[in-house]
């Protein structure tokens, strides 16, 4: 099946590892050129090289912090310089939190707001004019099931991801007249290296393996009783970017192995 992605230019924030890297491989396998943006420039470069080497597409690595206006501006300018503009933006960079509302200071709230929401605002505002010039595009927001079904230990994550879902809907309304389709994806448990690291740390010296710990989480939260692989959730992003999803606009899709306990 031809997904119509050949020679599209895709910007993926947080594309150096985990879900973002898997989306990069997924899009590049369809012939898209990939921009990997993350703070650790060296890791971004080796991810970009890996993608280029495996799929024969052009890639660009940018060592930027998308939680800052300057980092977002650099992406907009460098993509213009290297490729003449972007066709696809995947706002994927993000991270979990751990706090109580009574103890968390303002600056922690501010950081997550900048990372999860303002990055999407700034990159949407900066890259949409390029997409309009190129005849249209796709913007996807990697939110989380926590936007709807909060985990108790991360209120800042839950709140900022919920805001990102609402932003996605508003951006979709504003950009569809320009043939830019905007959607959000709410993932459930996805087995990235970060989960493995956390599980390894939490089980060290306990007699349990990290695999045991991960299975316990899956059994507790996901009716499918396993984590997703980054590749299997990346497939969904690739589909939404493609010409096969041209009527998908302004929606929020769950890819969560049945974890959401309600109907929406
Ligand atoms: P990882 O921690 O594996 O990767 C995060 C990526 O984002 C890295 O490339 C990291 O690179 C980059 N990043 C983090 N902060 C910044 C920043 N300020 N500026 C630029 N890049 C940044 O994350 P996952 O792959 O697990 O998650 C990706 C997205 O999916 C996140 O938004 C997460 O909330 C969401 N998600 C994940 C789930 C899961 O179970 N894994 C479930 C639901 C949603 P660097 O550190 O070099 O900046």
Torsion, Cα 200 12 124 57, to 10 degrees, reads: 180
**93 CB near ligand 1 (under 6 Å):** yes
**Residues of the chain falling short of pLDDT 70:** none
**The pLDDT value given to residue 210:** 97
Going from the Cα of 9 to the center of ligand 1, the distance in angstroms, rounded, reads 21
Contacts of 249 (CB under 8 A, 6+ apart): 172, 176, 181, 182, 183
CA-to-CA distance for 93 and 125, rounded, in angstroms? 17
**42 CB near ligand 1 (under 6 Å):** no
**The pLDDT value given to residue 119:** 99
**95 CB near ligand 1 (under 6 Å):** yes
DSSP structure string for 7-62: T-EEEEETTTSHHHHHHHHHHHHTT-EEEEEES-HHHHHHHHHHHHHHH---EEEE
**The pLDDT value given to residue 161:** 98
Going from the Cα of 246 to the center of ligand 1, the distance in angstroms, rounded, reads 27
Chain centroid offset of residue 124 CA: 14
**The pLDDT value given to residue 264:** 83
Out of 3.40.50.720, 1.10.3720.10, 3.30.565.10, 3.40.50.170, the CATH code matching 9-190+229-255 is: 3.40.50.720
**The pLDDT value given to residue 102:** 98
**94 CB near ligand 1 (under 6 Å):** yes
Instruction: Give the residue range(s) of CATH 3.40.50.720 domains in the chain.
Output: 9-190+229-255
Q: For residue 57, which phi and psi values (nearest 5 degrees)?
A: -105, 170
Residue 203, H or E segment: helix 193-203
Q: For residue 112, which phi and psi values (nearest 5 degrees)?
A: -70, -35
Using the atom order of ligand 1, give the atom closest to the CA of residue 195: 41
Using the atom order of ligand 1, give the atom closest to the CA of residue 96: 34
């Amino acid at each position: 099946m031809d997904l119509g992605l050949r020679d599209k230019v895709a910007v993926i924030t947080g594309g150096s590892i985990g879900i973002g890297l898997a989306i990069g491989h997924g899009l590049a396998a369809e012939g898209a050129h990939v921009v990997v943006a993350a703070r650790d420039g060296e890791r971004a470069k080796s991810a970009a090289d890996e993608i280029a080497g495996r799929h024969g597409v052009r890639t660009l690595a940018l060592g930027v912090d998308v939680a800052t206006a300057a980092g977002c501006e650099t992406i907009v300018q460098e993509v213009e310089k290297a490729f003449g503009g972007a066709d696809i933006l995947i706002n994927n960079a993000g991270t979990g939190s751990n706090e109580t509302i009574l103890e968390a200071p303002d600056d922690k709230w501010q950081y997550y707001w900048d990372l999860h929401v303002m990055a999407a605002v700034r990159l949407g505002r900066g890259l949409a004019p390029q997409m309009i010039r190129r005849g249209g595009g796709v913007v996807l927001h990697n939110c989380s099931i926590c936007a709807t079904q909060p985990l108790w230990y991360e209120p800042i994550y839950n709140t900022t991801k919920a805001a990102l879902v609402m932003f996605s809907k508003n951006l979709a309304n504003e950009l569809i007249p320009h043939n830019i389709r905007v959607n959000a994806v709410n993932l459930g448990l996805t087995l990235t290296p970060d989960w493995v690291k956390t599980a390894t740390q939490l089980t060290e010296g306990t007699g349990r393996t990290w695999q045991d710990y991960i299975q316990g989480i899956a059994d507790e939260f996901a009716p499918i009783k396993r984590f997703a692989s980054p590749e299997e959730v990346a497939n969904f992003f690739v589909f939404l970017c493609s010409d096969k999803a041209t009527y998908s606009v302004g929606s929020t899709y769950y890819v969560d192995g049945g974890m959401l306990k309600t109907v929406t």
